[in-house]
Structure 1
């Protein structure tokens, strides 16, 4: 499969046919998503960390992002909508930087085929974000079940089982780094030129379909890393920036197998020590 970051790919990836407004709007969208996410983070009244802290003050876990009362109030359509909105904004902030090469490649290919670039490109982005929004629904369900289960335990039981649950999640994320599915999904994400050439669809509906397909590959790359975030109940600036950097580096490295392997080993090792209670999940306040 062609390497999107080979010299040939970089020559083909020219943005001269793209409207400057499209580039600027993508930057503005990403910046706005980060601004909203940071605002929500700093406006939180309580710290998070359901997996290791085990106390009632951390019970909200992921639900505390903007929905401090979601877990306590139980299942509700309004709560799900609020969770989904905040989750999608956070995913836009964290994932659009890594998706930018693919978006630009699509726009450049669209510009070579016809004059209309902006609308199909935004349809592509919409399809991509729809996948992460759908993932947010799954996260909401997991948060609710997790909160209900944690609430049913007394504090000593939570202190016992929470590190084990987080350690297992870390271990699974580490092992996933070595799977064939991870490598297949990551190869598609690393090769925008090959993806566009293999999966091109004309028209706005085709652009939406391509965005959905790329979103699925991207989800296949990153779901395990975000599972750690959800399991730890962490919503700090430092953790978000770290995870954004990890995803960005992993996707944009020409030969990232060493990085993938090193990350996998680190996650497995961290999972082991957390499971046995040797350390708490490293906390970076935000």
Structure 2
């Protein structure tokens, strides 16, 4: 039986108590910061999108303006579902964990947005009339929706969702944000792609996609939802092909407001 001086035990207990108590406080601050950031981003998004083109195939405008609205959109939609991962990082990291995690996380989604912008510019550079809504547009949109639905059933989706729902052990907040962002793109990138064919400036579809992503990543039984979402997306794709005018909140291109770069 070993003997330790009582004074040493008292020193250890007083040293550990504040450190153990700071973790719940840090996690609470992280939750408040991310939710407040998401609310502010929604407010800015609603204000900036007022009067925008909310239909399929929205003109994405200049790169600088697009990036500004894209980062704001993704912050509004994605930060609430990133709270569990950010809280865990805040428990492990020491220096500005919430800020660094958020920077890393949104950096990945900004890269996704840049890729989407590049694809859009590439397709529009060909000036293919078939993509017009009065021709093959509904088929392209329906096919994209069906593809997003099928992706929900893939092994990559399951792996990414499992990683999104598990806690990262990285003590570096920036690296943790980047890693979680990559997992999140693998998990939710197809759902975000749905916005580009239904209306990337549509607040209604933004809210629907944001709720779906949050449900998958955060709710207790969210890991069971991809199958239901797959059926819903394929069904919606068929609906858009067969009768696009009857889809609720789907703005028809012939009744559009001016494109975004004209409505700044």
Counterparts of 1:158 and 1:279, CA distance in 2:
10
Q: Return 5+ residue gaps in structure 1 as ranges.
A: 1-11, 52-60, 64-69, 71-78, 111-115
Q: 2:136 aligns with which of 161, 168, 175?
A: 161
What's 2:243 paired with? 278
Q: Does 1:186 align with 2:161?
A: yes
Matches within 5 A, 1:1-286: 15-18=23-26, 22-44=30-52, 47-51=53-57, 61=58, 63=60, 70=61, 79-110=62-93, 116-117=94-95, 119-149=96-126, 151-153=127-129, 158-192=133-167, 195-196=168-169, 200-201=170-171, 206-275=172-241, 277-280=242-245, 281-283=247-249
Does the C-alpha gap of structure 1 residues 214 and 258 become closer, same or farther in structure 2, counting only changes over 3 Å? closer
Structure 1 residue ranges (4+ consecutive) displaced by more than 4 angstroms after TM superposition: 19-23
What's 1:9 paired with? none
Does the C-alpha gap of structure 1 residues 147 and 262 become closer, same or farther in structure 2, counting only changes over 3 Å? same
Counterparts of 2:176 and 2:201, CA distance in 1:
31
Q: Return 5+ residue gaps in structure 2 as ranges.
A: 1-19, 252-264
Does the C-alpha gap of structure 1 residues 152 and 172 become closer, same or farther in structure 2, counting only changes over 3 Å? closer
TM-score norm. by structure 2 comes to: 0.78
TM-score norm. by structure 1 comes to: 0.72
Counterparts of 1:215 and 1:62, CA distance in 2:
26
Does the C-alpha gap of structure 1 residues 254 and 49 become closer, same or farther in structure 2, counting only changes over 3 Å? same
Q: Give aligned pairs, total.
A: 230
CA offset at residue 211 of structure 1? 1.1
Counterparts of 2:180 and 2:34, CA distance in 1:
17
Does the C-alpha gap of structure 1 residues 221 and 20 become closer, same or farther in structure 2, counting only changes over 3 Å? closer
**What SS does the aligned partner of 1:245 have?**
helix
Counterparts of 1:284 and 1:278, CA distance in 2:
11
CA RMSD of aligned residues (A): 2.5
Does the C-alpha gap of structure 1 residues 16 and 37 become closer, same or farther in structure 2, counting only changes over 3 Å? same
Rg (Cα) greater in structure: 2
CA-to-aligned-CA distance 1:171-205 (integer Å, 9 cap, x gap): 1011011000000000011122xx22xxx24xxxx
